[in-house]
Amino acid sequence: MRNNTINKKEIEKFTKIAEEWWDPTGKFKPLHKFNPIRIKYIKDTIVSEFKIKKDYKPFKNLSILDIGCGGGLLSEPMARLGANVTGIDASYKNIQVAKYHLKKSKLKIDYYNCSPENLKIKKKFDIILNMEIVEHVEDVEYFIKESSKFLKKSGVMFIATLNKTLKSYLFAIVGAEYILKWLPIGTHDWEKFVKPEYLTKICKKNSLILKKIDGMTFNPILNKWSVSSDKSVNYISKFMKI
């Protein structure tokens, strides 16, 4: 087994376009469209799981580790909901962008330029976010193992990624990258997509039990994302540490 999760080629790919993280019309436009549905999904699930009141800062007293945080597109909304957020990313430039944007948003988030195996903090978190990251790491099994070390017992880990199906190849690569030009060509490598059964198996080895899994589908007519039962392309899963 490898002793690191960093895929240099993937890091370089995102470093090149890092300055566009917060531009809703730039290279990360699809992620900006996707962000509201994943924020709502995380919020609704956490409110239900931790039995907390739906006030204006429902996540207060909760700690969140956002792994592969990029420019902070998910870290900042989590902090706005009241969480104590730590964001990590293997790309130095991504973290610089995240820190720069933090000055504008005036939120409190701890950002570190590292991968989970290199994170030098003793703290354990209530929630870990591995969102759209497992399909970009060097070794998924090692990545989950290292990530899970930072999760408290009975804590929740969210993992969102792409299923390895013919439909995901046609939609996420041929359609999104080559035809519609939503994403830069080469953003995704179908060989690195992860089947839910395989992800569940890896997580189980690390004391993470699958509690919920849902599909995420895009409606081109309504131009919006929604949670669905179709997991053939994008899916999001909730695991609990036992």
> Please, what are the domains in the chain?
8-163+189-241 (3.40.50.150)
| pLDDT at 56 exceeding the cut of 90 | no
For residues 235 and 57, the model is more confident at 235
Angle at 42 between CA 238 and CA 145, to 5 degrees: 40
Q: Which of 33-37, 184-188, 206-210 has the lowest mean pLDDT?
A: 184-188
Comparing CA positions, the residue from 173, 234, 191, 174 lying closest to residue 34 is: 234
Average pLDDT value for the chain:
95
Q: Quick one: average pLDDT of 198-225?
A: 95
CA distance 181 to 122: 42
- What is the structure's pLDDT at 223? 86
CA distance 175 to 113: 32
Q: Quick one: average pLDDT of 10-21?
A: 94
- What is the structure's pLDDT at 47? 94
- What is the structure's pLDDT at 238? 98
- What is the structure's pLDDT at 90? 97
The band of 1, judged by pLDDT with boundaries at 50, 70 and 90, is very low
- In the chain, what are the helix, strand and coil shares in percent, each to the nearest 5? 40, 25, 35
| pTM for the full predicted model | 0.94
Task: Please tell me whether residue 66 adopts helix, strand or coil conformation.
Answer: strand
| pLDDT at 2 exceeding the cut of 60 | no
Comparing CA positions, the residue from 160, 141, 7 lying closest to residue 74 is: 160
Residue 23 contacts by C-beta under 8 Å, 6 or more apart in sequence? 29
Task: Tell me the per-residue pLDDT of 126-164, one tens digit each, with 9 for 90 and over.
Answer: 999 999 999 999 999 999 999 999 999 999 999 999 999
CA distance 36 to 183: 18
